Structure 1
Amino acid sequence: MENSFSSSCSTIQSLYFPPHILQHILQSLPIDIIWLFTISSNKNVSCIASRLFYKKILVYYKSSSDYNQSNEFNDLICSNNTNRINNPNTISKLSNSKNAFLTFTMLDFSEFSSLIYPYIDQINFIFDPIILNQFQTISGSNLQFLHNLNKINSISIKFHYSNDKLNYYNNNYNNNDSNIDSNNTIPNDDNLIQFISLFKQNITKLYLNSLNITNLDLLLNELLDNNNNNNNKLKILKLSNNNIHKVLTLANLKSLKYLDLSNNKIKNFKNFNNILFNLESLNLSRNINIKKIENINNFKNFINLKKLDLSYLNLYKIENFDNLTNLVDLNLSFNQIDKIENLEHLANLLYLNLSNNFKITEFGDSFNNLINLETLLLNNSSISSIKGIEKLKNLKILSLRNSRIKTITKEFKKLVNLHQLDLCDNRIMKIENLENLEQLTSLNLSYNNIKRLSNELESLKNLKILNLSGNGLFEIDKDSSGLNENEKLEWLNLSQNRLESFHNSFKFNKLKKLEHLNLSFNYIESIKDELLNLNDLNDLKLNNNNIQMVNCSCLSKLNNLKVLNLSSNKIREFSILKEMNITKLNLSKNKLINLNIQGLKHLENLILFKNEIVHIKGIDNGLAKLRGINIMQNKIVSLKCFKMLRNLEWIKASKNQIKRLDQELSELKKLKQLMLDFNNISKIENLSTNNNLQVLELSNNLIEKIEGIEELKNLKVLNLNNNKISKIENLDLGILRNLRTLELFNNKIVDVDNIFFLQLSKQNSLKISLHCKDAAGILSLCGFNKFQQCLNLGEEKAY
Structure 2
Amino acid sequence: MEYLERELMRLSIMLLLVLVNVCHGCREQERIALLQLKDSINHPNGSSLPSWEDWDGEEPTDCCEWEGVECNATTRRIIKLSLNSTREYELGDWYLNTSMFLPFESLVNLDLTNNVLLGCIENEGFEKLSRLSNLHILDLSENYFNNRILSSLNGLSSLKTLRLYDNNLTGQVYIEDFDSLNNLKELNISWNRLESIVSREGFEKLSGLSNLQILDLSSNSHNNSILSSLSGLSSLNTLKLQQNNLIGQLYIQDFNDLNNLKELDISRNDLASIITREDFFHASSLITSLKLSGSTTQNFQLAYTSLRLLILLRVELGDEEFKLDGEIEDNSYGASCTSLSSFSDSSLKMMT
**TM-score bucket of the superposed structures, by smaller chain:** 0.5 to 0.7
How far is the alpha carbon of 1:272 from its aligned partner? Answer: 2.1
* 1:377 equivalent in structure 2: 240
1:279 matched to 2:123:
no
* 1:315 equivalent in structure 2: 169
How far is the alpha carbon of 1:490 from its aligned partner? Answer: 7.0
Cα distance change of structure 1 residues 423 and 286 upon mapping to structure 2, 3 Å threshold: same
1:197 matched to 2:197:
no
Cα distance change of structure 1 residues 356 and 378 upon mapping to structure 2, 3 Å threshold: same
- Greater length-normalized contact order (CA 8 Å, ≥ 6 residues apart): 2
* 1:422 equivalent in structure 2: 291
1:409 aligned counterpart, secondary structure: strand
Task: State how far apart, in whole Å, the 2-side matches of 1:332 and 1:318 are.
Answer: 10
Looking at secondary structure, tell me which structure has more helix per residue.
Answer: 2
* 1:255 equivalent in structure 2: 106
* 1:297 equivalent in structure 2: 152
Cα distance change of structure 1 residues 167 and 422 upon mapping to structure 2, 3 Å threshold: closer
Deviations 1:315-362 (A, max 9, x none): 113331111101111111111110134633111011111111134343
Residue 361 of structure 1 contacts residue 382 of structure 1 at CA under 8 Å; is this kept in 2?
A: yes
1:238 matched to 2:106:
no
Task: State how far apart, in whole Å, the 2-side matches of 1:266 and 1:431 are.
Answer: 46
Task: State how far apart, in whole Å, the 1-side matches of 2:273 and 2:136 are.
Answer: 40
* Residue identity in the other structure for 2:212: L
Q: Say which of 392, 395, 401 aligns to 2:261.
A: 395
What's the TM-score, normalizing by structure 2? 0.65
* 1:713 equivalent in structure 2: none
- Runs of 4+ in structure 1 off by over 4 angstroms are 146-149, 161-170, 457-461
How far is the alpha carbon of 1:186 from its aligned partner? Answer: 2.5
1:407 aligned counterpart, secondary structure: strand
* 1:363 equivalent in structure 2: 226
Long gaps (5+) in structure 2: 1-22, 27-45, 88-92, 200-205
How far is the alpha carbon of 1:369 from its aligned partner? Answer: 1.8
Task: State how far apart, in whole Å, the 2-side matches of 1:260 and 1:305 are.
Answer: 13
Residue 232 of structure 1 contacts residue 255 of structure 1 at CA under 8 Å; is this kept in 2?
A: no
Looking at secondary structure, tell me which structure has more strand per residue.
Answer: 2
Q: Which has the larger radius of gyration?
A: 1
1:349 matched to 2:212:
yes
Cα distance change of structure 1 residues 262 and 458 upon mapping to structure 2, 3 Å threshold: farther
Q: Say which of 267, 287, 302 aligns to 2:118.
A: 267
1:109-148 residue pairs with structure 2 within 5 A?
147=24
Task: State how far apart, in whole Å, the 2-side matches of 1:304 and 1:254 are.
Answer: 13
Task: State how far apart, in whole Å, the 2-side matches of 1:163 and 1:351 are.
Answer: 34
Aligned residues: CA RMSD: 3.7
Cα distance change of structure 1 residues 389 and 169 upon mapping to structure 2, 3 Å threshold: same
1:329 matched to 2:186:
yes
Residue 458 of structure 1 contacts residue 486 of structure 1 at CA under 8 Å; is this kept in 2?
A: no
1:374-773 residue pairs with structure 2 within 5 A?
374-384=237-247, 385-386=249-250, 388-410=254-276, 413-415=281-283, 416-424=285-293, 425-435=295-305, 437-438=309-310, 440-448=312-320, 450=321, 454-456=323-325, 486-489=337-340, 491-494=342-345
* 1:186 equivalent in structure 2: 60
Task: State how far apart, in whole Å, the 2-side matches of 1:359 and 1:247 are.
Answer: 30
Task: State how far apart, in whole Å, the 2-side matches of 1:492 and 1:459 are.
Answer: 20
How far is the alpha carbon of 1:363 from its aligned partner? Answer: 2.4
Cα distance change of structure 1 residues 460 and 447 upon mapping to structure 2, 3 Å threshold: farther
Deviations 1:121-171 (A, max 9, x none): xxxxxxxxxxxxxxxxxxxxxxxxx9499xxxxxxxxxxx9579765459x
How far is the alpha carbon of 1:446 from its aligned partner? Answer: 2.3
Residue 374 of structure 1 contacts residue 394 of structure 1 at CA under 8 Å; is this kept in 2?
A: yes
Task: State how far apart, in whole Å, the 1-side matches of 2:329 and 2:287 are.
Answer: 11
Long gaps (5+) in structure 1: 1-145, 150-160, 171-180, 199-207, 216-230, 462-481, 500-799
Task: State how far apart, in whole Å, the 2-side matches of 1:318 and 1:432 are.
Answer: 33
Between the two proteins, the alignment pairs up a number of residues equal to: 271
2:290 aligned counterpart, secondary structure: strand
Identity %: 25
* Residue identity in the other structure for 1:404: D
1:267 aligned counterpart, secondary structure: strand
Deviations 1:700-740 (A, max 9, x none): xxxxxxxxxxxxxxxxxxxxxxxxxxxxxxxxxxxxxxxxx
Task: State how far apart, in whole Å, the 2-side matches of 1:485 and 1:439 are.
Answer: 6
Task: State how far apart, in whole Å, the 1-side matches of 2:85 and 2:327 are.
Answer: 50
How far is the alpha carbon of 1:295 from its aligned partner? Answer: 6.0
What's the TM-score, normalizing by structure 1? 0.31
Task: State how far apart, in whole Å, the 2-side matches of 1:422 and 1:459 are.
Answer: 24
Deviations 1:594-652 (A, max 9, x none): xxxxxxxxxxxxxxxxxxxxxxxxxxxxxxxxxxxxxxxxxxxxxxxxxxxxxxxxxxx
* 2:196 equivalent in structure 1: 339
